[in-house]
Amino acid sequence: MSFQVYIADKRYPAVGLDLLRKTTQTTFLTYLEYGEDSLKEIKNNIKGCDGLIWNTHHPLTAEILDLAGKILLLCPQLKVISSTSTGFDHIDLGEVKKRGIPLGYARLVLNNSVADVAVGLMIAAARRFKEGVINTESGNWELGAQWRLGQDITGSTVGIVGLGSIGQAVVRRLKGFDVAKFLYCGRREKPEAKTLGVQRVSLEQLLAESDYVILACPLTDETKELINANTLKMMKKTAVLVNIARGGLVEQDALYEALKENRIFAAGLDVVTPEPIPKDHKILSLPNCFVTPHMGGATMSNLNTKAIIAAKNILLGLEGKPLLYPVI
């Protein structure tokens, strides 16, 4: 039996497409990942699919699920969905679950590459790379080191909010930097923490004691704007905030004010709100805020691996088998 699989964005890698085309018909929906035009194209062309690969940052809503599944109550044609991302806060899990549709994702793929970027952001923000590049390129390179003094990682206390697989990978990398103490906070104890030498504390203690605060937790109702005007006041004036998770974890206006007034030393952000962020956004004007365009997982190896996992999730779901990495 031939199945129809829709892929939300045409930039899906050929290595995954080759797997799908052996047993299914595949249809791409759009090239454009952002903007109302691409979302309109998706809605106009998604009707009547058996499998859906959601490789876009557009929210997957009840409306789109209804369109994809034809007449939902009488003909629930949509049998399986897979995201190519490691997160799924852009998918309405309640609506997917209500329809009884298996949902897969690309679990564990990005751990190492995102951890690499976390360390890079720590160094870039703490050592004032943005200011240095601006001064160098503008011809204002000043002699002497006094104007560009930064913060050391050696001997520091590093606090990680969310000691999941990415947080653990960050700790392993930082072991070579002679960090004095690692702290973490989270909803439950992590058995790996003891082996890694990481102490569990409250969020309040972590913020008060850490020289570096690394956000590596999922975005949920509980963690939304976890870093806000109140929690920023708990941090050291010399602290560096690093966000490699989701922009929504941070109340961005509050962070802007804290950085502008030098109430914390610096921030390194690979995720912001919104994405893409406008070029004239005020947070980009700060010399002590180093921002990269959500590139933590952007390696060729990761891209291909995510495509393969998504394809395998879809093929297993179409056969009525358990998914490789299920969310639901």
> Token match 């989701």: residue?
246
Helices (H), 46-110: 62-68, 93-98
Query: Is position 90 annotated as part of the catalytic site?
Result: no
Q: Which of 57, 58, 281, 294 is catalytic?
A: 294
DSSP-derived letter for residue 284 is G
Rounded Cα gap, residues 312 and 323, in angstroms: 8
Q: Backbone phi, then psi, for 138, in 5-degree steps?
A: -95, 0
Output the CA torsion sign for 274, 276, 280, 283.
Answer: positive
Edge-to-edge strand ranges of the sheet holding 289-291:
198-200, 181-185, 157-161, 212-215, 240-243, 266-269, 289-291
Helices (H), 30-164: 36-45, 62-68, 93-98, 111-126, 129-137
What positions carry a catalytic annotation?
A: 294
